[in-house]
Amino acid sequence: MSAEFSSRATVYLHNKDFESIVRSALKDIFGEPLASSVIFQIGGTESIMDPSLFEKKIRLVFGPGADLILDYVAKKLENPRKRIVRK
Amino acid sequence: MSQSKKRILVVDDDEDIRETLKSLLTKKGYIVDTANDGATAIQKSESTPYNLALLDVVLPDMEGTQLLVKLKPTTPRMRKIMVTGHASLDNAIRAVNMGADGYLIKPVSPPELLRMIEDQLKRQEDDGRLTQEKITSFIETRIKMLEGSEGGKE
């Protein structure tokens, strides 16, 4: 999908807090400690404030798995009110 | 050449051997650094992620087998090949038990060395692919679970 991640994310950037939604999405997927480690590995807070930088870094670290993460983040941006409950 | 960006660290106290190996490996497209003792090797490995290290068994400040253990935390996935002038089964078994991925006897034959390096680097790539597949599978499963639980609430 996510050649269009940046444009998909940028549309919502003015209304939503991109950074907090990315943090929340990574926490959903990986759990708190690993999400913090992922954020550190992709370059810290700076990398989760800019959709195109976030996409680039996530692709570098996760390779084929990046599309799944980006798609999940994009869905969460598009519909942040949906609470996703961790199992 | 796929190996052109691979980094190799050559650790040997014999300058002739360091330079010979550096020259041979550089010609094959590898980026090569050298260290003349264990402490320098650890220092370099902390600042540069090497794909592979060639380690002499006998170093001025520590044994090569000790260095194997000390290098592991610096770059866990780095492949390590021990090179020794003292051929013995005991040494070989000890090196492998301490974390060596390969073992060569001096004088090292260049074709044999290059074959072993290529083999180790290929294994490293295969391991990386396997890890990435496992991570992708984990993410896929996790997101399906999350989306499934979300769907169930609607």
Indicate whether A86 belongs to any domain: no
In chain B, the domains with their CATH numbers are 2-125 (3.40.50.2300)
**A62 contacts B136? CB cut-off 8 A:** yes
Indicate whether A84 belongs to any domain: no
**B147 contacts A68? CB cut-off 8 A:** no
Domain hosting A64: range is: 2-77
The reported pLDDT for the residue numbered B17 is 92
The reported pLDDT for the residue numbered A11 is 66
Closest among B63, B70, B53, B59 to B121, alpha carbons compared: B53
Q: Touching check for A30 and chain B: CB below 8 Å?
A: yes
Element (H, E) at B16: helix B15-27
Q: Touching check for A81 and chain B: CB below 8 Å?
A: no
* Structure tokens belonging to residue A23: 């943090």
Element (H, E) at A75: helix A66-78
State the nearest Cα–Cα gap between B20 and chain A, in angstroms.
Answer: 35
Q: How far apart (Å, rounded) are the C-alpha atoms in residues B123 and B117?
A: 10
Cβ-Cβ contacts under 8 Å, A38 against chain B: none
Cβ-Cβ contacts under 8 Å, B150 against chain A: 82-85
Closest among A80, A63, A59, A83 to A11, alpha carbons compared: A80
Q: Give the tens place of pLDDT for each residue, A68-79.
A: 999 999 988 887
**B140 contacts A28? CB cut-off 8 A:** no
Cβ-Cβ contacts under 8 Å, A37 against chain B: none
Q: How far apart (Å, rounded) are the C-alpha atoms in residues B130 and B67?
A: 27
Cβ-Cβ contacts under 8 Å, B149 against chain A: 84-85, 87
Q: What angle do CA B123, B81, B94 make, to 5 degrees?
A: 110
Q: Touching check for B130 and chain A: CB below 8 Å?
A: no
> Interface pTM (ipTM) of the complex?
0.71
The reported pLDDT for the residue numbered A86 is 44
Residue from the list B135, B149, B150 with its beta carbon closest to the beta carbon of A65: B135
Q: How far apart (Å, rounded) are the C-alpha atoms in residues B84 and B79?
A: 17
Indicate whether A18 belongs to any domain: yes
The reported pLDDT for the residue numbered A81 is 59
Spacing of C-alpha B33 from chain mean position? 13
The reported pLDDT for the residue numbered B1 is 41
User: To the nearest whole number, what is the mean pLDDT of chain A?
Assistant: 81
pLDDT of residue A12 exceeding 70: no
Burial of B90 (0-12, 13-18, 19+ CB in 10 A): exposed
- pLDDT (tens, 9 = 90+) of chain B, 154 residues, equals 444 589 999 999 999 999 999 999 999 999 999 999 999 999 999 999 899 999 998 899 998 889 999 998 888 789 999 998 776 777 777 777 788 999 888 888 999 999 999 999 999 988 887 788 888 888 888 888 888 876 655 4
A64 → chain B, closest CA residue: B136
The reported pLDDT for the residue numbered B73 is 83
B129 → chain A, closest CA residue: A63
CA distances from B61 to A39, B57, B66, B74, B78 (A): 39, 11, 10, 18, 21
Task: Count how many domains chain A has.
Answer: 1
Indicate whether A10 belongs to any domain: yes
